[in-house]
Amino acid sequence: MADDRDRDEVAVAEFHKKIKEAFEVFDHESNNTVDVREVGTIIRSLGCCPSEGELHDLIAEVEEEEPTGYIRFEKFLPVMTEVLLERRYRPIPEDILLRAFEVLDPDKRGFLSKDELIKYMTEEGEPFSLEEMEEMLSAAIDPESNSINYKDYITMMVIDEN
């Protein structure tokens, strides 16, 4: 129906503006390109949570034939619009995140030790870099017990984002 189509067009137009805003913030030279290393940050800032593997694929889609290290807005916009329209890479709900921690804590102690956290994050899944690990530790680890009370941690992070 005409109304639906109008609404869709409006939605797409709004997505375009949102994507443009997010892109421009990282377009340091104001020439409609961003460093490819910042594309992941831009995509995530728009509310999507692709895995590293999925991110890799996305970047391949928006890169030039001969990669220049820069991503142009003209290539980024249509791909990102599709991602938003299809609601791909939805973020992890809080309860799933909690359960993930609980899986790593089978004895149900309510916490993970610093070493355990480091081990899982740097050896399993899509491992953290040293920098990512240090960053997470600085906010997550209680220096007195040298462990992370994951329930409190999650609550704190969620409050911070809202």
Partner 1 sequence: MNIHNLEDMGCGTSSVTKDKKSEKALKAALVIQNWYRGYSARLKTRQRYALTIFQSIEYADEQGQLQLSNFFSFMLENYTRVQEKEPGLVTRLFGSNIQDKDRQDYLGLIDVPDSYCGPRLQFPLTFTDIDLLIEAFKQQQILHAYYVLEVLFETKKVLQQMPNFTHTNTSPSKEITICGDLHGKLDDLFLIFYKNGLPSATNPYVFNGDFVDRGKNSMEILMILFVSFLVYPNDLHLNRGNHEDFMMNMRYGFTKEILHKYKLHGKKILQILEEVYTWLPVGTIIDNEVLVIHGGISESTDLTLLHRIERNKMRSVLMPPIPMDADYAERKNKLGTTIVAQGIRTSGSFSEQLTKQEWEQIIDILWSDPRGKRGCYPNTNRGGGCYFGPDITSKILNKYQLKMLVRSHECKPEGYEICHDGKVITVFSASNYYEEGSNRGAYIRMSSGMTPRFFQYQITKATCFRPLYQRVNAIESSAIRMLKERMISRKTDLIRAFQLQDRNKSGKLSMGQWAFSVENVLGLNLPWRSLSSHLVTTDKDGNIDYMSGFQDVHIQKPVKEVQSTLIETVYRYRSDLQIIFNIIDSDHSGLISMEEFRSMWKLFKSHYSVHIDDSQFDELAERMDLNKDGSIDFNEFLKAFYVVHKFDKLNKSDSKLE
Name every residue whose Cβ is closer than 8 Å to that of residue 95 and which is 6 or more positions away in sequence: none
Q: Binding string to partner 1 for residues 140 to 159, with x set by CB under 8 A, is what?
A: -----------------x--
Measured CA to CA, the distance from residue 47 to residue 91 in angstroms comes to 7
State in Å, rounded, how far the first CA of the chain is from the last one.
37
Is 114 a binding residue for partner 1 by CB under 8 A? The answer is no
Measured CA to CA, the distance from residue 92 to residue 150 in angstroms comes to 15
What does each C-alpha distance from 152 to 84, 128, 136 come to in angstroms? 31, 22, 14
Among 36, 77, 79, 104, binds partner 1 (CB under 8 A): 104
Q: Binding string to partner 1 for residues 29 to 58, with x set by CB under 8 A, is what?
A: xxx-x------xxxxxx--xx-xx------
Is 75 a binding residue for partner 1 by CB under 8 A? The answer is no
Contact 124, 104 (CB under 8 A): no
**DSSP H or E stretch at residue 147:** strand 147-148
Contact 117, 137 (CB under 8 A): yes
Q: Which is closer to partner 1, CB of 63 or CB of 154?
A: 154
Window contacting partner 1 (CB under 8 A); options: 1-9, 28-36, 59-67, 78-86 = 28-36
> What residues make contact with partner 1 under the rule CB under 8 A?
10, 13-14, 17-18, 21-22, 24-26, 28-31, 33, 40-45, 48-49, 51-52, 91-92, 96-97, 99-101, 103-104, 120-121, 124-128, 132, 135-136, 138-139, 157, 160-161
